[in-house]
Amino acid sequence: MAQSITLARPYARAAFELAHAAGALPAWSQALGFAAQVAADPRVATLGNDPRVLPKQLVALHLPEGMAADAPFAQFLGELAEHRRMALLPDVAALYEQYRRESESQLLVKVTSAMALDAAQAEQLKASLKRRFKREIELQTSVDASLLAGVVIDAGSEVIDGSARGRLERLGTALTN
């Protein structure tokens, strides 16, 4: 995993720079997302190292419908295909999104709660996190009933555990020490 991220990083940076220069960050996000889904399919993954499959065939397979074969994104895919790096597309897409969020002063925050957050709670949490991190916030929410109550907020470099389960674990650790 770490090696694929290392290999994917220069491709993701190149994709970001090409998209940014063209003012096409959202379009490249969509195209990379599509290509990453295709690349993640096990049936397609086996084709990436098959010498009988030509690079232009790999590009055509990963190209979103309606996109021209000579578009900058297609040329980018061509470079990946020539070097047999199509399997890196999921990591390239994830890193590209990270670069995009940074350029747009956004922060992806993963929020896991014991019960589903309603729209008002999500907006209130988003506003609080925006004040704390001084960036636009993109919330990714999930539910984990084992938390018992409360939320766990993962902002990448910082994790805030406000769950009942987390409090009980901390209390248990304090009592045993």
Taking only Cα atoms into account, the Rg of the chain, rounded to an integer number of angstroms, comes to: 20
Angle at 79 between CA 77 and CA 81, to 5 degrees: 70
> How many C-beta atoms surround the C-beta of residue 104 within 10 A?
12
Structure tokens given for 19: 């998209």
Answer whether 48's CB lies under 8 Å from 87's CB: yes
Q: What is the pLDDT of residues 82-110, one digit of tens each?
A: 888 899 999 999 999 988 888 877 777 88
Bridge partners, residue 113, by sequence: 143, 151
Answer whether 49's CB lies under 8 Å from 73's CB: no
Q: What is the pLDDT of residues 164-175, one digit of tens each?
A: 776 777 777 888
Q: What is the pLDDT of residues 18-75, one digit of tens each?
A: 998 888 889 999 999 999 999 999 888 888 777 888 888 888 889 888 888 778 999 9
- Give the span between the Cα atoms of 126 and 48, in whole angstroms: 41
Contacts 24+ apart (CB under 8 A), 80-83: 80/11, 81/55, 81/56, 82/55
